[in-house]
Amino acid sequence: MLAESLALSAVLFTIGVVGVLTRRNAIILFMCVELMLNAVNLSFVALSTLYGATGQVFVIFVMTVAAAEAAVGLAIIIAIFRHRQTVHLDDINLLKG
Amino acid sequence: MHTDLSASGHPLSDTVAALAWLILLLPLLGFVANGLLSLTAAAHPGPADPSADHGHGDASHGHAHTIGHAADHDDAHHAGRHPAAKWVSLIGPGVLAVAFGFALVTFLAMRGAGEAIHAPYVLTLFDWIPTGALQIPVALQLDQLSMVMVLIITGIGTLIHLFSVGYMQDDPGYPRYFAYLNLFVFFMLLLVLGASYPLMFIGWEGVGLCSYLLIGFWFSEEANANAGKKAFIVNRIGDFGFLVAMFLLFANLGSLSYTGVAAGAAGLEMGGALVTTICLFLFLGATGKSAQIPLYVWLPDAMAGPTPVSALIHAATMVTAGVYMIARSATLFSLAPAAQLTVAVVGALTAVFAATIGLKQWDIKKVLAYSTVSQLGYMFVGVGVGAYTAGVFHLMTHAFFKALLFLGSGSVIYAMHQAYHATHAHADAQDMRNMGGLRRYMPITSSLMWIATLAIAGIPPFSGFFSKDEILAAVFARTHHSTLAEATWLGIPGSVVLYGVYALGLAAALMTAVYMTRMMLYTFHGPNRTGPAEQGHLREAPWIMTGPLVVLGVLSAVGGFLNLPALFGGGMSEILHHWLEPVVGEGTLRVTLGEAAHLSHATEYALIGTAVAIAVIGIAVAWTRLKPAALVPVSESPAEQGLARTLLNKWYVDEAYDRVVVQPTLGVSRTVLWKGLDTGIIDGLFVNGAGFLARGLGWLGSQLQTGRVGTYAWVLVLGAVAVLAGFSFR
Amino acid sequence: MHAFLDGIGYNGWILPVLLLFPLLGALVLVADARRFSTGTAVEAMGRSRSIALWVCLAEALLSLGLWWSVDVSSAAWQAAVTLPWIPQWGVRFAVGLDGIALMLVLLTTCLMPLAVLGSWTSIRERTHSFYALLLVLTTGMLGVFMALDLVLFYVMWEVMLIPMYLIIGIWGGQRRLYASVKFFLYTMVGSLLMLVAIIWIGMVVRRVTGAPDFSYDTALQLARLGPIPGAFWAFLAFALAFAVKVPMWPFHTWLPDAHVEAPTAGSVILAAIMLKMGTFGFVRFAVPLFPEIAMAPAVRSVFLALAVIGIVYGALVALVQPDFKKLVAYSSVSHLGFVMLGIFAMTVEAMQGALMVTISHGISTGALFLLIGMIYERRHTRLLADYGGLASVMPLFAVALTIVALSSIGVPGTNGFVGEFLVLIGSFPTQPWYAVVAATSVIIAAAYLLWAVQRILYNPLTNPENQALRGRDLNWRELGLLAPLLLAIVWLGVYPKPVLQKTEAAASRLVQQVESARMSQQRAQTGGGAR
Amino acid sequence: MIYDVSQPAALMAALLPDLLLMAGAMALALLAAWRPASDAHQRLVGQATLVVLATSLGSVVLAAVRGGEATAGVIAVDGFRWAVDVVVLLAAMGTVALNIEQQPRDGIRHAESHVLVALAASGMMVLAAARDLMVIFLGIEIMSIAIYALVGLNRRSARSAEASLKYFLLGAFATAFLLYGIALIYGATGQTQLGAISATIARHALALDPMLMVGIGLLVIGFGFKVAAVPFHMWAPDVYDGAPTPVAAFMAAGVKAAAFATLLRILYEAFYLVGLWMEPVAWIAIVTMVVGNLVALSQRDIKRMLAYSGIVHTGYLLVAAVAATDLASTAFTFYMLGYTLATIGAFAIVGVVQRDGEEGAPLAAYAGLWSTRPWLALGMAVYLLAFLGFPVFGGLGFFGKWYLLSATIDAPGRLIVLAIVIVLTSVISAGYYLPVIRAMFMEPRPEGATSPAPTGAWTRAVLVASAGLLLVCGLLPSSLATIALRNGFAPHAIPDEVRATGAGVLR
């Protein structure tokens, strides 16, 4: 059971990474990062069956942090939208060189 | 470690010889005095702020003190005499006369001591370079050889200084001229009086420096400055040889003083590679200083200097330094027959080669210059075959008549200048084609010059005959039963070489007679070509100039009796030979395998006969074949053709050197070394190249920074994959 | 004199004072600049240069006592002062002198006033900072010669880099930016590698004795422990840093640019003192610390070959330089090639000769650059073709330039000859072929310098601008500036004995030490390796 | 005395400075909300923040002086932690001081930025103290989220918004990697405390366990991003360029110090038996130094150039991480102190020279600065030479690099190769520091250019303090050296055979 769930979380993690690489929209990018975090949560839960409750405690931590991060992140994305009227990442390249 | 008799124990130490350093000091004081006079008069320190340009308005202010160095082209001209001229005329020759007096007194003291002297009297003044095993003190060595040289230098020097007073009086650079002349005499005396090779080397380069300063005396003329520079650099090539010889001596014999080298030389084996290399390098130094093939090219150009300079430096004293050096290292040279043969052969070749060029020169000083190179060849033949006394004797007699010839030509040029100056003509005062028939205007100079011409041609009883004949006799005597005869030179057996040298000697003697007579004919006989207006102004030079000529005339006439061959003189014969015995005797004997070279009376008479015949034929041929009347002044004379042209252009040797040595060096240094290697490869490729590479890579990196989050995420993931790969594949 | 000096305990405090005094001067200058920033540029120039001159003169006067107080015969460091600096890392503020360092310190202190006088009227704007940098530079240079601690040596070596970089960069000629960066980067590559070598030595000492220690004497003991792995690379790092500074042949391309673009005082100090850091480095650090490596036949012949190439190459390239300052720069490459030849020939005469060339090159090239500065102030060009016939309008200048040129050529009777002669005659017994090839440069040196002197002084006076120089010969300041140098040229040429005796003890000690190391190494190789 | 962290009272004592700061931050948040946003108010809040930071610093110094150790448990108490805390607090105080005078010029009136700086600083102190993976994750997140907001501070500038967006997205992305690493390590060892992890590795000989390897790899990637090591550095130049200058300074100094401290503690305490991480980290160090330096050469903007300079210094510090000896950790803290002072100072001057409203810091703005504002030019020169590691003129920068090189050369194995790379790359770094000095000193001031505005009181205080400390400690570093020696933490001596297996390039 453990191996399958670890494998699943690995797959989910990879999907998240591919999502970050391919998609161009800031929000969707952020969603993919959230997906990666949840993949890690899955592996934590799976491992807690082996080593006891610390894994699950970790999950709680991760979720709260992810929430905080989401709040600040979305505020930033709104700020960028106010400036550039778009969240399409290809247009956001003022800073380069 | 020269452990010769300490100065105090020597018989001469309590006599006036102890004050030998005074002879040296006097010319130095003369230099300092004249130098100060020249500088204080010409020097005006500029304004405090140098960069504030004074505009050209006050350029006129500059003319106030024309006594600067705006010397005009060539010899004396009347731009106003130097204010301190009186003092300089007193100090310059005066200092030298006193030195000559001292030299005479020391000479008499040395003669007085006579047989008691069996070791050179070395006077140590102070330590110059005391490091480790190399201890070089500033020490003077007074022995018979250096006494003779000192007498020649100070004697002839005084006469020439007197002559220059008349000759250079009106030149604005007068004190500067005498300052350099005195400095020259100081260095020449140091060269002959030095007790070790480095001391001689100081004098050696010092005289080179003074000849540079004096040749380029009228420096505002580019030709003169070039001639001075050429002289110094060619001398420097010779000095390189001298330096390497000194290194070899120090490395192998551990000492550089004459006494030390003489002691060390005993250990060297006869004809060994080491002693031969040392002697060859010493000879390279000698060829540089005494203008032998291949380093003679600077002497003819040195005629650009004032004529008394040519007389003193480039005839009587400096150029003979090479001969003195070989005579001084007699013990070394006698151990290296191969080197001696080289010296003899080079001397003979130079004698003939220079004589050929002398045949077709039109400039009177150039004729005499090539004659000097030729006669120096004779002296080298003399010392080359181990007859050191004969070499020194010819050196002395040559000093007399060549100085006379040069000073004579000086008064001729002086007269021509006065004439041209009076009529404001601008013809070449030194070209024989503008002269002719001067006998009628300058009888004393022409008769004295005839004496010198007969002496140099080798007509008895003049001095040239005795000294030249003795050299030829010495060569002939050594063709058999001498170390030279047994040795081989580039495969050719010694005796054959010596016969060749003898033959070349005769040929040179013949040509000498021809070109000297040619010079006399074109200058003093036949119709006058200076021009009708100038003829009125041609007259004898003032007594201050002709006086020394007379003295030199007497010396050239009687000089020969100083060293009569045993054949004639009986009791009075070979004075110089006995005098130089303690210094060069051992070297001469070693060459002639122990006993003095002897020729049967019959062969001697035969040799003398041939020599006199050669001289007479030479003069006769010149007298009959040359027609001074047919000559026309320079302006109208046609260009030379064929062989004459090559001889006039000195076999194009200068041009050859320039194309083979000078231009390639400059070319290589400029294109290959500087532009190619330095700025090209080292700077261009490595230094700037590295900078360019770094900037290029940097630019590439910054291009990757596109500003798009996608790219950054990609790079991050690629990096992550690389790191993970690094971790897992072990 | 001895009694007086010992009376005031001269040896106890002189070296640190010599280091701090110029810094004090620099601070005074900075303070003065802030207080009187209202005055005009000319006023500021007057104040700052006189302050700088007084500081340099006082420094020179102070240092003269060393001539008597330093006892060169004893093996111990003279006037040694050791203060704790960073005890945790075994770094001390240790200064001291031996015969060689003494002469170089005196050369520095005596040349600085002349450098200040040399830029009296040529430096016109921001003069306070210029002279402040000059004084900081003096401390840096003196520190390098006195340091007995590897870290102090490195710090002083770098301290002197910034002031010179700024001097060239701010007050230099047209291509000063390129020249100053090139100078900085060239020296920095070498010195950073040397830093790694110094730390490596410290760490080796730490492994041997437990605590890191950077004093020079402990580093010397290291050499006696026999071959240490990696010692070759450490020697190479030291050698590279010093080779760049000397400069030896392939690393010399910064020199012509830096000299040409630096202001007069800059190029005088660069040529007369800073180039000697390289040779001093070899004599004090690279060779004694790694004697058997430095004297290994392969390494030694490489350095000798580079030295001789430097000599001949420098002379040949100097022959074709249109710019007089670049000509003198390349001639410096040639002269310092002699020093390296003398050092690596490793005989007492050659070593003495090397030190003599260092000092006489400092004097004659310093004088040459001062003279170039003087005519540059008047004509604002360095190209030889623009000059000609100056001897008739500027006789004093002509006399001075001729004497200095002769000294640089090495005519006997001047200081140049003594050094070169000793190097050649000293290196001949051990390296005959190198000595002979080096001797040929004697000819080329005469050629390029006399040709240059002729193009400036002699030749017809045709150019109107040269004619305008008629009334503007050297002024009293410039004469006073050149007089000591000309005097030194003649004095060292005629009577070099006192200087030679000062350096003899240190030179022979160095040679013995290196020879004994080389012998033991040879015995080790031939004897099948002692260990 | 020993802190038994399991007891709540001892835990409180161990965490005193952090708690003080957090409490202070909360109070400041309330204070900030007390009055409407205005320049005067934000100055008041700023000064209050400085007081809070100062008290925390005081307590840190007190704790350090009192000594005391905590060998096991969630929180570490040792000299290393206190040293990192000092560095972090100094950076924070510098940032706040600069922000007080920079914000009005950027038109930012709300005072929350100071609170955010305090909160970020508290996150960093947690990181410095953490000895448990969970606490590390928390510390990182507290710090990062506060910094995301700080970067986007200047609401009116699109560049600031874009910078914070990039930093946020990539930051979150990297944190995901980090977290996954923690998960795998937890999976492999079942422990989250560093001491316990190393114990299990020793007991079960997990040195070559694949899951652990991937875990450590991911951890290194996560930290690689935080300290801006090369493959993960792409965000740094843009974010530094976009962020307000004081925030950029804070990121360059504080974030780097805290992230490195944790990385060192993890590698030295948890994975000292695993030799495999040495070579990858060494390669990352080399690549960071080379690429960072080369790309910096082509930068024309001072802030971007300082960003790359930060990346290069990360490379140097990674070399210290690889050295992994007691000398290395002290070298790290010594270097960080010098680096922080120089960074704060350099960014302060960039802020001063930058004209109001204008974006970026072109090199041309510095041309001839010496003739108009000599003391600013001299200050900038000192900071740049400190980055370059130049003795005396660069002050502490030299001894920082000196200590680092000593640690590298002293470490067993052939780490001298890394020392050579440090030295050669620092020559390249002269290639982009010198043009700034050249512009300031050697180029004439263009006619039109106006001279920078006079510096505010706080900025001048920061400049004088940082330059003064740099130069004084540069001359007499002995006092600092003793503190550093005492405050290093001696990691377990890494057995040679472990070192041999790991260090490929360094064998």
Task: Give tens-digit pLDDT for C269-326.
Answer: 999 999 999 999 999 999 999 988 888 889 999 999 999 999 999 999 999 999 999 9
At B131 the pLDDT is 85
Give the DSSP letter string of C386-403.
G---HHHH-HHHHHHHHH
* C428–B212 CB contact, under 8 Å: no
More confidently predicted of B63 and D51 = D51
Task: Give tens-digit pLDDT for C226-247.
Answer: 778 888 999 999 999 999 999 9
How would residue C527 be classed by pLDDT, with cut points 50, 70 and 90?
low
Top-level class of domain A2-84 = mainly alpha
Judged by a CB distance cut-off of 8 A, whether residue A24 touches chain B is yes
* A79–D148 CB contact, under 8 Å: no
- Alpha carbon C410 to chain centroid, angstroms: 18
Residues paired with B129 in a beta bridge: B136
Contact D178, B720 (CB under 8 A): no
3-class DSSP state of C262: coil
Q: Which residue among C429, C458, C494 places its CB closest to the CB of B225?
A: C458
Task: Give tens-digit pLDDT for B472-509.
Answer: 988 888 888 888 888 888 888 888 889 999 999 999 99
Q: Which residue among B51, B243, B682 places its CB closest to the CB of C250?
A: B682
> Is residue B389 pLDDT above 60, yes or no?
yes
> Is residue D10 pLDDT above 90, yes or no?
no
Q: What is the pLDDT of chain D when averaged over all its residues?
A: 88
> Is residue B67 pLDDT above 50, yes or no?
no
Task: Give first-to-last CA distance, chain B, whole Å.
Answer: 74
Q: What is the pLDDT of chain C when averaged over all its residues?
A: 90
Judged by a CB distance cut-off of 8 A, whether residue A94 touches chain B is yes
ipTM attached to this prediction: 0.88
> 3-state DSSP: chain A helix, strand, coil percent, rounded to 5?
85, 0, 15
Judged by a CB distance cut-off of 8 A, whether residue B717 touches chain A is yes
Give the DSSP letter string of B62-114.
HHTTTTSS---SSS---S---TTHHHHHHHHHHHHHHHHHHHHHHHHHHHHHG
Rg (CA), chain D: 22
Nearest C-alpha of chain C: how many angstroms from D3?
Answer: 29
How would residue B121 be classed by pLDDT, with cut points 50, 70 and 90?
confident
More confidently predicted of D448 and B252 = B252
Q: Which residue among C86, C162, C169 places its CB closest to the CB of D481?
A: C86
When scoring B687, B708, B709, B714 by the number of chain D Cβ atoms within 10 A, the one with the most, hence best to mutate, is: B709
Report the distance separating Cα B130 and Cα B125, nearest Å. Answer: 13
Report the distance separating Cα C336 and Cα B263, nearest Å. Answer: 37
> Is residue C224 pLDDT above 50, yes or no?
yes
CB pairs under 8 A between C and D: 83
Rg (CA), chain C: 23
The amino acid at D29: A
Task: Give tens-digit pLDDT for B539-571.
Answer: 888 888 889 999 999 999 888 888 888 777 666
CA–CA distance from B724 to each of A38, B717, D213, D222, D267 (Å)? 22, 10, 8, 12, 16
> Is residue B598 pLDDT above 90, yes or no?
no
Longest dimension (CA), chain D: 73
* B46–C495 CB contact, under 8 Å: no
How would residue C519 be classed by pLDDT, with cut points 50, 70 and 90?
confident
At C101 the pLDDT is 93
- Alpha carbon B146 to chain centroid, angstroms: 18
C213 interaction partners in chain D (CB closer than 8 Å): none
Q: Which residue among D166, D177, D213 places its CB closest to the CB of B712?
A: D166
Q: What are phi and psi of D166, to 5 degrees?
A: -60, -45
* C155–D392 CB contact, under 8 Å: yes
Residues 302-341 of D with CB under 8 A from A: 304
Residues paired with C97 in a beta bridge: C78
How would residue D501 be classed by pLDDT, with cut points 50, 70 and 90?
low
Q: Which residue among D410, D431, D441 places its CB closest to the CB of C170?
A: D441
When scoring C196, C200, C208, C240 by the number of chain D Cβ atoms within 10 A, the one with the most, hence best to mutate, is: C196
> Is residue C343 pLDDT above 70, yes or no?
yes
Average pLDDT over residues B87-97: 90
Apex CA C270: angle with CA C264 and CA C274, to 5°? 155
Contact C135, C53 (CB under 8 A): no
How would residue D493 be classed by pLDDT, with cut points 50, 70 and 90?
low
Contact D177, B720 (CB under 8 A): yes
When scoring A49, A76, A89, A96 by the number of chain D Cβ atoms within 10 A, the one with the most, hence best to mutate, is: A76
At B14 the pLDDT is 74
Task: Give tens-digit pLDDT for B146-191.
Answer: 999 999 999 999 999 999 998 888 888 889 999 999 999 999 999 9
> Is residue A16 pLDDT above 70, yes or no?
yes
pTM for the full predicted model: 0.90
* Alpha helix (H) residue ranges in D324-395: 326-353, 369-372, 374-388
At B74 the pLDDT is 40
Task: Give tens-digit pLDDT for D226-249.
Answer: 999 988 999 999 999 999 999 999
Nearest C-alpha of chain A: how many angstroms from B715?
Answer: 10
3-class DSSP state of B637: coil
Closest CA to D360 of D237, D233, D451, D458: D237
* D165–A26 CB contact, under 8 Å: yes
D389: left (phi over 0), alpha (psi -120 to 50) or beta: left
Q: Which residue of D has its CA nearest to B704?
A: D234
Which partners does chain C have (≥3 C-beta pairs < 8 Å)? B, D
Judged by a CB distance cut-off of 8 A, whether residue A28 touches chain D is no
CA–CA distance from D105 to each of C265, D74, D245 (Å)? 45, 43, 12
* D420–C88 CB contact, under 8 Å: no
Q: Which residue among B707, B710, B713 places its CB closest to the CB of A95?
A: B707
Nearest C-alpha of chain B: how many angstroms from D211?
Answer: 10
Report the distance separating Cα A94 and Cα A80, nearest Å. Answer: 12
Apex CA A91: angle with CA A87 and CA A94, to 5°? 110
* D190–A97 CB contact, under 8 Å: no
Q: Which residue of B has its CA nearest to A24?
A: B710
At C243 the pLDDT is 94
Average pLDDT over residues B535-540: 83
Q: In chain C, pLDDT over 90 holds for what percent of residues?
A: 65
Domain ranges of chain A: 2-84
How would residue B597 be classed by pLDDT, with cut points 50, 70 and 90?
low
Task: Give tens-digit pLDDT for A79-97.
Answer: 999 988 888 888 888 887 6
Highest mean pLDDT among B556-565, D264-273, D427-436: D427-436
Closest CA to C77 of C110, C100, C59: C100
At B562 the pLDDT is 83
> Is residue B65 pLDDT above 70, yes or no?
no
Q: Which residue of D has its CA nearest to A24?
A: D169
At D491 the pLDDT is 60
> Is residue D470 pLDDT above 70, yes or no?
yes
> Is residue D317 pLDDT above 50, yes or no?
yes
* Alpha helix (H) residue ranges in B626-706: 642-648, 653-657, 663-667, 689-704
Closest CA to D453 of D343, D390, D365, D345: D365
Three-class DSSP labels, C14-54: HHHHHHHHHHHHHHHHHHHHHHCCCCCHHHHHHHHHHHHHH
Judged by a CB distance cut-off of 8 A, whether residue D145 touches chain A is yes
Task: Give first-to-last CA distance, chain A, whole Å.
Answer: 50
Q: In chain A, pLDDT over 70 holds for what percent of residues?
A: 99
What number of other Cβ atoms are within 10 A of residue D394's Cβ?
A: 28
Q: Which range among B1-10, B258-267, B689-698, D5-14 shows the weakest confidence by mean pLDDT?
A: B1-10
> Is residue D116 pLDDT above 90, yes or no?
yes
The amino acid at B134: L
At B76 the pLDDT is 41
Average pLDDT over residues C401-420: 93
Task: Give tens-digit pLDDT for C449-503.
Answer: 999 999 999 888 888 888 888 888 888 899 999 999 999 999 999 999 999 999 9
Average pLDDT over residues B406-424: 89
Closest CA to B224 of B310, B291, B139: B310
Residues in chain C: 531
> Is residue C363 pLDDT above 60, yes or no?
yes
* D168–A95 CB contact, under 8 Å: no
Exposure string of A74-93, with b = 16+ CB inside 10 Å and e = fewer, is eebbebbeebbeebebeebb
